[in-house]
Amino acid sequence: MPITGSIDKAVDRALELNINTFQIFTRSPRGWKYPPIPDEVAEAFKKKVKENGFKGIASHMPYLPNLASPDPEIYKKSVDSLIEEIKRANLLKLEFIVLHLGSHMGKGIEHGRRRVAEAVLKALSTEESEAVILLENMAGQKNSVGSSFEDISKILDEIGDRKKVNVCFDTCHAYAAGYDLASPKAVENTLKLFDEIIGIKRLKLIHLNDSKGGLGSRLDRHEFIGKGFIGKKGFKAIVNHPKLKELPMILETPVSNYKEYAKDLEVIRKLIEG
């Protein structure tokens, strides 16, 4: 939900769509600078959330931070940005903070994984987080960290905090990285693999996005639900799966205006059984 005008306006927009959870950027996603959140705005946000019964609200880190970066200056700015996001999430009483894990910039996957783990540990040691930090799986772009379940598992093992750091699963990213989700059997197989490598209990939130790229394409290109390679059969299996159906699910399909999400919401709701 956009925060244009004031962060609490995101709640009003969510109410227009008749949804019970949502995700926001607490600041511009494409810059390093940000204004503080006024206390009165934070109070208005929390009041509206409580009065309307919203649950599982997440913030998403901006796109510029790279927690896997080998560049000392970028890395420090990225860790500082995560610390700031924790402060903002605490102020708004958000439940989750979603992280893109970034790029190792050619330094190798082990270096990248270590940098991400160290960044999260540094941030948590600097600012106590009330929100759970979620590592989001990536689509497998060149030098990316976190496109494989093994990557995420190793980072989680190094961080160690099972209560404060878990996983956000993006369907488009998973499919692009080679994890099939296009049929009930494929969904079952992928979730079984996730459980074996990471543990299904560590999955706390789902990004529902169809994929413009084919299986294993490594293209981070979101598509409208049912219009991409995952398709309606895949999403029907996802939203009705007993291990997933109670989790918060966030649409990040390529709309130009938040009101356009109504179309994807209608598609998803028709797929939900019972």
Residue 3 lies in a domain: no
Q: Per the structure, how many domains does the chain have?
A: 1
121-161, pLDDT tens digit by residue? 999 999 999 999 999 999 999 999 999 999 999 999 999 97
Q: What is the CATH number of the domain that holds 247?
A: 3.20.20.150
Is residue 220 annotated as a catalytic residue, yes or no? yes
Give the closest residue to 36 by CA, choosing from 27, 47, 46.
27
Q: State the DSSP code for 175.
A: H
Residue 13 lies in a domain: yes
d(CA 226, CA 68): 33
Residue 1 lies in a domain: no
Give the closest residue to 251 by CA, choosing from 216, 226, 274.
226
220-243, pLDDT tens digit by residue? 999 999 999 999 999 999 999 999
Active-site residue identified among 114, 173, 175, 223: 173
Residue 166 lies in a domain: yes
Is residue 63 annotated as a catalytic residue, yes or no? yes
pTM of the predicted structure, to 2 decimals: 0.97
195-206, pLDDT tens digit by residue? 999 999 999 999
Q: Are 172 and 185 in contact (CB under 8 A)?
A: no
Domain that holds residue 222: 9-271
Structure tokens at 12: 């009003």
Q: What 3-state DSSP class applies to 51? A: helix
Is residue 130 annotated as a catalytic residue, yes or no? no
Residue 86 lies in a domain: yes
Active-site residue identified among 63, 110, 150, 260: 63
Structure tokens at 122: 């540094």
Active-site residue identified among 13, 113, 115, 222: 222
Residue 29 lies in a domain: yes
Is residue 252 annotated as a catalytic residue, yes or no? yes
Residue 4 lies in a domain: no
Is residue 30 annotated as a catalytic residue, yes or no? yes
pLDDT over 90 (residue 73): yes
Structure tokens at 6: 């004031």
Is residue 241 annotated as a catalytic residue, yes or no? no
